[in-house]
Every structure is written in C-alpha cells, then in structure tokens.
Amino acid sequence: MKKLSAKAKKRIMANVTGYALILPLLIGLLVFTLYPLLVSLFNSFFYNYDGFSPYEEFEFGFGNYLRAFTGYESEVFWKSIGITFSYAGIMVPLGLVLSFIVALFLNQGLKGIGVFRLLYYIPCLIPSIVQSMIYLYIFNPNYGVMNDIFAGLGFEKSQFFDSPNYNAVLTFMFMNLFGVGGSMLIWLAGLKSVPKTYYEAAKIEGGGYFYSLVRITIPLCSPYIFYLLITNVIATLQICGNAYMISSSGGVDNNLLFFGLYIYRTFMNNNFGYSSALAYLLFIVIAALSALLFRFNKYVYYEGDN
C-alpha cells in the first residue's frame, strides 16, 4: 500500500514538473498556433470578412474559396499560383544542384578551403533588408551595375524587376542564386559523412570519379537531399517578406506577386476572410506536398537502418 502511494506520488510529481517545464511552449502553441488556426478557418467562411465588424454582416459559406477560382479575382489568383510554382519548380532543383556542385569543389581537401567556404556563405549573412537594397540597386533599370555589365557585353538593357513579363521572376531567381551558400553548408556535412573507405574500394575496382559520385556520394547523401528538398520546398512556397521588399505591390502587372505576398496584400486591404481562405489553400498544398515527399523517405538511406 505504501509502495503504491510512493509510485503514484512519483507519477504526479513527473506530471507537475513536466507541465511546468512545457508551460511556455504549451501556451505558445495554444495562443499563437491552435487558436489562430481555428479563427482563420472560421474567418475563411465569411465572405470578405474585414476582421473587425460583426460576423452577421458577412455572408457565410464557401464564398472566399470560390472567389479564388471564379470571377475577376481568379486571374490574379492563377497568376500568383503560376509565379510561385514555376519559381519553386525551377529554383528548388536548380539551387540544390548548384549548391551541390559548389560543395563538391569545396570538399577536395585543398589548402585554404576554409576561406572559400566563408566567402561563399557571406551572401547568406547579409540581412534580407540589406540584400533587397543591394539587389534593387544592382538591378536598377536606369543606373544599376547589371545594365552597365549588360551594355559591356553587348546585351540589350533590361528592366529586371520592373519587366512587364517573366523577366521579373527570372531576376528574382538570379538574385536568390547568391544565397545557395546555406544549402551548400548542409551538402558539405553530407559529403563529410561518407566514409573514405568506400571511395578507396571503388577506386580499386576501377570506378572513375563519376561512378563514385553516382554510386556512392549521392545515395549516401540521400538524407541530406531529402532534408534540403523538404525545407526548401516549404520555404519557397511561402516566400513573402523578400518579395515584399523588392516590390510591396507585387511588381508591374503582378509579375512578382508570390502567393505569400498575395495573401499579405489581401490582408493589408483588410480582407481577413479572403486572405484566410488563401492561407488555408496554401497550407493544404504544402501539407499535401510534404506528405508526398515523405513517401520518398523509404528510398532514403539512413545509416544503421540495415
């Protein structure tokens, strides 16, 4: 009897301590995540809800969701979707491949390699507001350095971010290539994790550089590929702040209206209902894509699994 009560006491103590320690996290989850999620969902069903007037003044139903797919707003919606997904579809693979190539060059054990690693990472250290200042200046259509370089190379002047076509997104893409240093660091860790003996074995068997790359390096780095893929896809689809700093309105003809910025712009116009619906649509897409990507997890080689 006494033994049992001691055990029960221990249980209670563990619960008290545990909840005391996670209390801040729990409050944060409830107040800043769960409650907002529910409110957002609720708001998304009130057509053009403005955030502050009583709910009775707004029509209840799927109006906000339908609004995205029908009527005059759907044009902007699809354009924004097109920009965001074509950008992600090109930039995520391109960024992964380029950062991988750079990491391969850095992984050769040459002298002074630490300095190069640092240099390549510098653009990632620049705060995004400063990055925007630099890139808006470099790509300024009138007095930017890039047009000077273009003139030197004999190319036509470009409007860059102000272009009336896809050149605006291409400029945004080019700008973000300066930031592949972040993925590069993760690749480097992946490359370092491959045991050297594997390469030696491949060499003895007569396999060349590309044989080792395809048969050893890439499969053994698959957890890193997977991690980079998931995080980059999620981050790219949510682009908002960086696009806002380049053009808060979404560019000429909405050419830089990334989906995150579209949501934010709608919210700034006090349309809480429609922006909540858009945010939920984005969430569904991200969750679906993540679930899809996680299905590939079984092809990922984790050390110690075998």
Partner 1 sequence: MVNLSSRNKRVIKKCVSYFFLVLFSAFFLFPLVVMVLRSFFTTEESIAIGAGLIPDTWNWDSYAQALDSEFLKYLGNTVIVLAANIIGQPLTAAMAAYAFTKVKFNGRKIVFTAAMCTIMLPSILTMIPVYKIFVDLGWTNSLLPITVPAFFGGGFLNIFLMMQFIRGLPKEMDEAAVIDGAKTIHLMFYITYPLIFPVIALVAIQSFFFAWNDFMGPLMYITDEDLFTLPVGIYNKFFTALTPLESMPNVQMATGVLILIPPMIVFMLFQKQLVEGVTLTGLKA
Is residue 240 within 8 A of residue 263, CB to CB? The reply is yes
Q: Binding to partner 1 by residue 240, rule CB under 8 A?
A: yes
# residues contacting partner 1 (CB under 8 A): 92
Q: What tokens does 46 get?
A: 């009130």
Work out the burial of residue 165: count CB atoms within 10 Å of its CB; fewer than 13 is exposed, 13-18 middle, 19 or more buried: exposed
Q: What tokens does 146 get?
A: 């890039």
Output the DSSP codes for 148-164: HHHHHHTPPP--GGG-S
Per-residue x/- track, 114-153, partner 1 (CB under 8 A): --xxxxxxxx-xxxxxxxxxxx-xx-x-xx-x-xx--x--
Q: Binding to partner 1 by residue 17, rule CB under 8 A?
A: yes
Per-residue x/- track, 220-239, partner 1 (CB under 8 A): ---xx--x---x--x--xx-
Q: Binding to partner 1 by residue 257, rule CB under 8 A?
A: no
Q: Binding to partner 1 by residue 105, rule CB under 8 A?
A: yes
Q: Contact with partner 1 (CB under 8 A): which of 22, 97, 201, 214?
A: 22
Q: Binding to partner 1 by residue 24, rule CB under 8 A?
A: yes
Side-chain-side CA neighbours of 77 within 13 Å: the count stands at 18
Which residue lies nearer to partner 1 by CB, 142 or 197? 142
Q: Binding to partner 1 by residue 15, rule CB under 8 A?
A: yes
The secondary structure of residue 214, as a DSSP letter, is I
CB of 298 to partner 1, least distance (A): 13
Largest CA distance in the chain: 92
Q: Contact with partner 1 (CB under 8 A): which of 166, 178, 198, 199?
A: 178
CB of 82 to partner 1, least distance (A): 18
Q: How far apart are CA 7 and CA 28, in angstroms?
A: 32
Residue list 193-222, contact with partner 1 (CB under 8 A): none
Backbone angles phi, psi at 191, to 5 degrees: -65, -35
Work out the burial of residue 95: count CB atoms within 10 Å of its CB; fewer than 13 is exposed, 13-18 middle, 19 or more buried: buried
Q: Which residues pair with 60 in a beta bridge?
A: 46
- Tokens 């971010």 locate to 161
Q: Binding to partner 1 by residue 159, rule CB under 8 A?
A: no
Q: Binding to partner 1 by residue 99, rule CB under 8 A?
A: no
First to last CA, the chain: 47
CB of 6 to partner 1, least distance (A): 14
Q: Binding to partner 1 by residue 26, rule CB under 8 A?
A: yes
Per-residue x/- track, 37-56, partner 1 (CB under 8 A): x-xx--x-------x-----
Q: Binding to partner 1 by residue 97, rule CB under 8 A?
A: no
